[in-house]
Amino acid sequence: MSPITRYAGQLGGRFVSGFVMAVGVFLAGLWIGFRLGGVSPRIELAQQRETASRTLSALADHANRTLREAQTRGDALTTQLHAANRAAALTQEKLDDALRHATTGSTCLREPALRLLDGAHGIRVELPAAAGSTPAADGPAAAAAGEPVSSDTDVARWIAGAGLQYDECRRRLDALIGWHAEPAP
């Protein structure tokens, strides 16, 4: 007989049952440890997901609030711009009427000068195609029949219209700059 068998025989059933119980308790402890060890990372992962979800929700709320504020500011600036443009158009109508009364309608620019201005930067005189006529003599002589001319009224109205366009452009740029500027608290 082997020494282990003899020793086990001396102890009888107590040794085997104690040994089996000890192994069982040890295995149960291992199993519980692995289960608890596996649960802890899952709990941490769930907590991290919840934190990330709250953070994303807060960011989305902030983005929505910022967008609403920007839209409100943009709407207010657009309303101000439209009101300023309407006021400028009324002023322009009054100015045009006053210019008709203040000018004589006398010839100011004739066709050669108008053709030169038509090609200048940002100026469109809208002349008909060139007729191939010779330039008229310098001086206040009357323009040939059918030759495009510009009266002092036309020139004055064009200057006033250019000023109106400049002011409208300035107002639009001011509105854009105002929209991009930090809002007042």
- Domain extents for the chain? 3-127+145-180
Amino acid at 147: E
Higher-pLDDT residue of 53, 122? 53
* Helix H or strand E encompassing 110: strand 107-110
Percent of the chain clearing pLDDT 70 (strictly above): 71
Predicted pLDDT of residue 136:
45
Report yes or no on whether pTM surpasses 0.85: no
The predicted model gives 91-104 an average pLDDT of: 88
* CA nearest to 158, candidates 135, 130, 175, 113: 113
Contact between 148 and 84 under an 8 Å Cβ cutoff? The reply is no
Rounded to 5 degrees, φ, ψ at 150 are: -125, 130
* Helix H or strand E encompassing 109: strand 107-110
Q: Residues with Cβ < 8 Å from 84, sequence gap 6 or more?
A: 171
The predicted model gives 59-79 an average pLDDT of: 92
Q: Which two three-digit tokens encode residue 95?
A: 């100015």
Tens of pLDDT along 119-144?
A: 666 666 666 555 544 444 444 444 55
No. of helices (H) and no. of strands (E), the chain: 4, 2
Predicted pLDDT of residue 64:
96
Predicted pLDDT of residue 57:
95
Confidence of residue 10 (pLDDT cuts 50, 70, 90): low
Strands 149-151 and 107-110: antiparallel
